[in-house]
Amino acid sequence: MNTIIKIQNIQRVFEVGDEKVHALKGISFEVTEGEFVSIMGTSGSGKSTLLNILGCLDRPTAGEYLIDNISVKERSEDELSTLRNRKIGFVFQNYSLLPRTTALEQVELPLLYNNTVSDKQRRERAEQALEQVGLKDRMRHTPNQMSGGQQQRVAIARALAGDPVMLLADEATGNLDTQTSYEIMCLFQELHDKGKSIVFVTHEPDIASFTERTILLHDGLIVKDGKVETQSARQMLEAMMV
């Protein structure tokens, strides 16, 4: 299997006044193609810092980070922007949708910054992505015409449209009720079954149980990294409906 993410001895140190805060203290791990990995930790564990590094939004103080065998070290801001656009599909807790923009236009938006995609291809990809997440009949709807779960499906479609090597989800069920959260995790499991590589940052153990591996951070260190007994989101959802 190809290595999608390679983290080697990553350190991140922030200066707060006269103090240095060691958010990450030399952590290392890899994510291979097709894996579904959850990252957990307390708010002070460096989880957010690691998320920013994985998303190419921040650089480590020391160490090496490669995504799809491309190092982020010494890359210009424009090069990092291109990496984010071509390699990573982002799914956020708050959906990050434009209020007066249709679902189809929302999904097309990141592709506007990819000059290798024609106008026709952009529209076709957006339509296909929305169909893939079950929103074929909601393409012309704006966010205020959709439920929270439907809005998150639009966000997932937007992440898929660019055919990234990895989906990076930041607390993607954090604004949803339990039933809708499980519905969204059904979709993520379906995407994983089709071979998509997914890194899911969460603080909820039940959500992490739907992945196949969990990395646990505490005080800037990895304290646990291993396979989990994956639960079926579909079965959990059906059990709720009884």
The CATH number assigned to the domain holding 125 equals 3.40.50.300
Weakly modelled stretches of the chain, pLDDT under 50: none
Residue 10 lies in a domain: no
Total domains in the chain come to 1
pLDDT of residue 45: 67
151 and 96 Cβ atoms separated by less than 8 Å: no
164 and 89 Cβ atoms separated by less than 8 Å: yes
pLDDT of residue 151: 97
Residue 164 lies in a domain: yes
- Region of 67 on the Ramachandran plot (φ > 0 left; ψ -120 to 50 alpha; else beta): beta
pLDDT of residue 43: 62
Residue 1 lies in a domain: no
pLDDT of residue 195: 95
Residue 6 lies in a domain: no
207 and 178 Cβ atoms separated by less than 8 Å: no
Residue 110 lies in a domain: yes
Residue 229 lies in a domain: yes
Residue 27 lies in a domain: no
Strands 221-227 and 213-218: antiparallel
pTM: 0.94
The separation between the first and the last C-alpha atoms of the chain, rounded to the nearest angstrom, is 40
Residue 223 lies in a domain: yes
Q: Residue 43 sits in which domain range?
A: 35-57+76-241
Q: In what order do the strands lie in the sheet with 198-201?
A: 88-91, 166-170, 198-201, 36-41, 213-218, 221-227
pLDDT of residue 167: 98
- DSSP lists the bridge partners of residue 19 as 16
